[in-house]
């Protein structure tokens, strides 16, 4: 987990992480010694680590994108609920003494990350502490304009100083390098749709030797958006980039993770499932559990289980049709359980059978897979892992009902496969809780 944080945090994000770790640890010790009875030191260490895991999962330390006041409120609420639950559970297990002031403690604790982030945002604007970058490209290329828009509209790390137009003189123009050094440019982003015949190798090599970081547009896009631009990348990018490593140990740990979380979900939601089954039976004719053919890992087909949310046999005449928001085929009860994702709960049976994982790309039907693999680059690569009940695309993007939506979700799926880890799976589960509690649904 530490390796994951180190590799995925920028220098500024690591600095915020370390500062917050010190403040959280100090506050817990102060509260323990001065407000209530002293807590065991191992528990203080555990609580500090647990806090940082939660705050990282809800993206308090992610400076790669701008964050709104509403998003901060959502992250604050989730952190408060989870940490309060852990502290209260600890009291029942007699790990620590509990008192009403524990809620004030938790409230103050979860205020630390947004407060530090606010101070960071004020400081970075006041003292111009942004990472200064330039784009090397051509105004006529979509990648150049795309990179410009990402930096200007999404990132809270970079400050775009200029766009350097690629031409025949650039490789021989030493003055440009000197100007970049004078302006303390930290990074050059190469953003060209096609590099053949115009790749400024000498210029980029000289910049690299002078200590300026040189990165590809695809890396910027991936870092800031959390997805991979499938329509712009070349096969070499996937072949030579870091990631896409699924070791035997990862497979074993992911399987244990799937079984544990599936059983927990099944036990916790059992009363909800019983009530849902009764309401479905009262609401409309047809089976309670709906069985549908889907494509799993390696293209293997299997039957997926869901609570029925549509009228029975709605596709008997039309054949497979994209589901969409406000779908007229959905029943009254179905609209509610789809919104809250309750209809997905029976898929824990697929996970326990081994057809699915708890987290992964959402499974598609054979008809759509055959259609999409001919229209979306690298689409079959999403079949190298098991599909999931929830996934990176499911929590980052709206309900898909078109080819365009499938392309967008594929970009998130490819990012997930590249960075697959238990930590990312846990982060997705927390994002799923956030999506469900805010009523966004699938």
Average pLDDT over residues 220-247: 82
Q: How far is CA 54 from CA 58, 104, 196, 249, 437, in A?
A: 6, 18, 46, 24, 17
From the options 3.30.300.30, 2.30.30.60, 3.40.50.10700, 3.40.50.360, give the CATH code of 131-225: 3.40.50.10700
When pLDDT is cut at 50, 70 and 90, the band that residue 6 belongs to is very low
Which pLDDT belongs to residue 327? 72
Indicate the helix (H) or strand (E) that contains 305.
Answer: strand 301-307
CA distances from 113 to 48, 76, 122 (A): 13, 9, 14
Would you list the DSSP string of 337-370? HHHTTGGGGGGHHHHHHTS-EEESSPP--HHHHH
In 3D space, the residue among 138, 117, 18, 139 whose CA is nearest the CA of residue 64 turns out to be 117
| pLDDT higher than threshold 60 for residue 410 | yes
Distances in Å between the alpha carbon of 321 and those of 65, 308, 313, 329, 364? 35, 16, 12, 11, 12
Give me the pLDDT at residue 2, please. Answer: 39
- What per-residue confidence (pLDDT) applies to 347? 95
Model confidence at 232, pLDDT cuts 50, 70, 90, reads confident
Q: ∠ CA 253-338-300 to the nearest 5 degrees?
A: 45
Closest CA relative to residue 137, chosen from 53, 193, 221 = 193
Residue range 265-276: average pLDDT?
Answer: 93
User: In the chain, where are the structural domains located?
Assistant: 2-126, 131-225, 248-437
pLDDT at 55 over 80: yes
Task: Say what the pLDDT of residue 37 is.
Answer: 60
Give CA–CA dist 173/190, Å, rounded.
Answer: 17
pTM over 0.95: no
How far out from the chain centre does Cα 187 lie?
25
Q: Each residue of 119-159: pLDDT tens digit?
A: 887 887 777 778 899 999 888 888 888 888 888 876 667 88
pLDDT digits (tens, 9 = 90+) for 11-26: 777 788 889 999 999 9
pLDDT confidence of 5, banded at 50, 70, 90? very low
In the structure encoding, which two tokens stand for residue 338, read together? 């789809």
DSSP β-ladder status, 131-137 and 158-165:
parallel
Residue 136: closest CA among 186, 189, 91: 189
Terminal-to-terminal C-alpha distance of the chain? 29
Question: Taking all residues of the chain, what is their mean pLDDT, rounded to a whole number?
Answer: 84
Q: Residue 386: pLDDT band by 50, 70, 90 thresholds?
A: very high
pLDDT tens-digit series, residues 288-345: 998 999 999 999 999 999 999 888 877 666 666 666 666 778 889 988 888 888 999 9
pLDDT band for position 417 (cuts 50, 70, 90): very high
């Amino acid at each position: 987990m530490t390796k994951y944080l180190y590799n995925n945090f920028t220098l500024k994000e690591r600095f915020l992480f370390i500062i917050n770790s010190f403040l959280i640890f100090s506050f817990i010790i102060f509260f323990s010694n001065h407000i209530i009875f002293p807590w065991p030191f191992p528990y203080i260490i555990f609580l500090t680590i647990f806090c940082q895991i939660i705050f990282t999962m809800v993206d308090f330390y992610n400076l790669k994108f701008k964050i709104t006041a509403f998003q901060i409120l959502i992250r604050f609420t989730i952190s408060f609920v989870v940490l309060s639950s852990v502290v209260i559970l600890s009291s029942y297990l007699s790990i620590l003494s509990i008192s009403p002031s524990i809620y004030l403690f938790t409230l103050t604790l979860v205020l630390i990350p947004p407060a530090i982030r606010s101070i960071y945002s004020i400081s970075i604007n006041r003292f111009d502490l942004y990472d200064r970058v330039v784009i090397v490209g051509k105004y006529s290329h979509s990648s150049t304009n795309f990179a410009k828009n990402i930096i200007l509209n999404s990132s809270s790390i970079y400050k775009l100083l200029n766009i350097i137009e690629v031409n025949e003189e650039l490789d021989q123009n030493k003055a440009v390098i000197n100007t970049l050094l004078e302006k303390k440019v930290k990074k050059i982003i190469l953003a060209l749709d096609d590099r053949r015949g115009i790749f400024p190798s000498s210029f980029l090599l000289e910049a690299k030797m002078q200590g300026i970081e040189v990165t590809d547009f695809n890396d910027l896009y991936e870092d800031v958006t959390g997805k991979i631009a499938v329509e712009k990348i070349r096969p070499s990018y996937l072949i030579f980039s870091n990631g896409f490593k699924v070791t035997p140990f990862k497979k074993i740990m992911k399987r244990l993770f799937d079984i544990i979380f599936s059983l927990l979900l099944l036990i916790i939601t059992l009363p909800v499932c019983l009530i849902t089954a009764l309401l479905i039976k009262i609401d409309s004719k047809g089976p309670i559990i709906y069985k549908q053919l889907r494509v799993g890992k390696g293209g293997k087909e299997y039957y997926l289980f869901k609570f029925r949310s549509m009228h029975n046999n709605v596709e008997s005449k039309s054949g497979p049709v994209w589901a969409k928001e406000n779908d007229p085929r959905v029943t009254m009860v179905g609209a509610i359980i789809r919104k809250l994702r309750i209809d997905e709960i029976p898929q824990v049976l697929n996970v326990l059978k081994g057809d699915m994982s708890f987290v992964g790309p959402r499974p598609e039907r054979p008809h759509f897979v055959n259609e999409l693999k001919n229209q979306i680059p690298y689409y079959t690569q999403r079949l190298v892992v098991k599909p999931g009940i929830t996934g990176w695309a499911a929590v980052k993007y709206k309900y898909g009902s078109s080819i365009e939506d499938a392309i967008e979700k594929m970009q998130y799926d490819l990012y997930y496969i590249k960075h697959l880890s238990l930590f990312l799976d846990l982060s997705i589960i927390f994002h799923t809780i956030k999506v469900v509690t805010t009523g966004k649904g699938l």
